[in-house]
Amino acid sequence: MGLGYQASGLDDSMSDERRGRPLDAQRNKVIHSSTLSLMGEYGYDALSVERVAKLAGVSKATIYRRYPNKMELVLASLDHNLYGLPMPDSGTGLGDLMQMAHMIRTYGLNNETRCMFGTMMTARVRHPELAKAVHERIVVPRRQRARSVLERAVKRGELPAETPLELVMDMVFGAMLVRLARGEAVSESLAEHLVKTVWFGMGGR
């Protein structure tokens, strides 16, 4: 993408040919995680570089030595702190979908997700590149995984070939998200009901 800070030698894969003391990789991590943590608490607008520095126990100059501005700091943090995405494999499509719903319910319904999604929605007009980045680096991978799972179900003949898979995922995640937005819990039985409604409503078996 040609981001400025990469030209400064931050790129991991390339050998650092600068002479003096190198950037401390340990500090990169704490900066990234602090940034994401505050993003999940405040959202982009109310996130300040000073707070990131304080939380990370790092000087502000140390941050600006790595990234030219706040936006690049956030974008880089999004890149470097992606958790793993385990592929469910219960043997049946319905079981897989249920497992994914369970994972969302367990790990995805928290302040971070709500704030990150809220930021993505609010930012679309004023900070389109931020919205795009959150979408590409957080939303897309998860949707891609879900799509793979559902495509497998179609191949198995558990779902009709013409099933709009996008809609399946939108219904499951969307329903959970609006409850998260309202601050309401998603019980295990509700999640189960949700998945079954979508699955059988789509003609699954």
| Tokens matching residue 17 | 């040919």
The three-state secondary structure class of 14 is: coil
The H or E element spanning position 173 is helix 165-182
Q: How far apart are CA 42 and CA 159, in angstroms?
A: 41
Among 9, 43, 49, 54, binds a second copy (CB under 8 A): 43
Among 16, 45, 79, 129, binds a second copy (CB under 8 A): 45
| Contact status: 176 vs a second copy (CB under 8 A) | yes
| Contact status: 61 vs DNA (CB under 7 A) | yes
Among 124, 137, 147, 152, binds a second copy (CB under 8 A): 124
Q: How far apart are CA 101 and CA 31, in angstroms?
A: 31
| Contact status: 120 vs a second copy (CB under 8 A) | yes
CB-neighbour burial class of residue 84 (10 A; exposed 0-12, middle 13-18, buried 19+): exposed
- Which residues inside 66-125 make contact with DNA, applying CB under 7 A? 66, 68-71
Q: How far apart are CA 64 and CA 4, in angstroms?
A: 12
| Contact status: 160 vs a second copy (CB under 8 A) | no
Q: Are 35 and 119 in contact (CB under 8 A)?
A: no
Q: Of these partners, DNA, a second copy, none, which one is at the site of residue 170 (CB under 5 to 8 Å by kind)?
A: a second copy
Q: How far apart are CA 55 and CA 43, in angstroms?
A: 16
> CB-wise, 4 or 128, nearer to a second copy?
128
> CB-wise, 61 or 185, nearer to DNA?
61
| Contact status: 144 vs DNA (CB under 7 A) | no
CB atoms within 10 A of CB 59: 12
| Contact status: 51 vs DNA (CB under 7 A) | yes
| Contact status: 111 vs a second copy (CB under 8 A) | yes
Among 3, 6, 37, 41, binds a second copy (CB under 8 A): 41
CB-neighbour burial class of residue 83 (10 A; exposed 0-12, middle 13-18, buried 19+): exposed
Q: How many residues bind a second copy (CB under 8 A)?
A: 46
Q: Which residues bind a second copy (CB under 8 A)?
A: 41-43, 45-46, 111, 114-115, 117-126, 131, 135, 139, 164, 167, 170-171, 173-183, 190, 193-194, 196-202
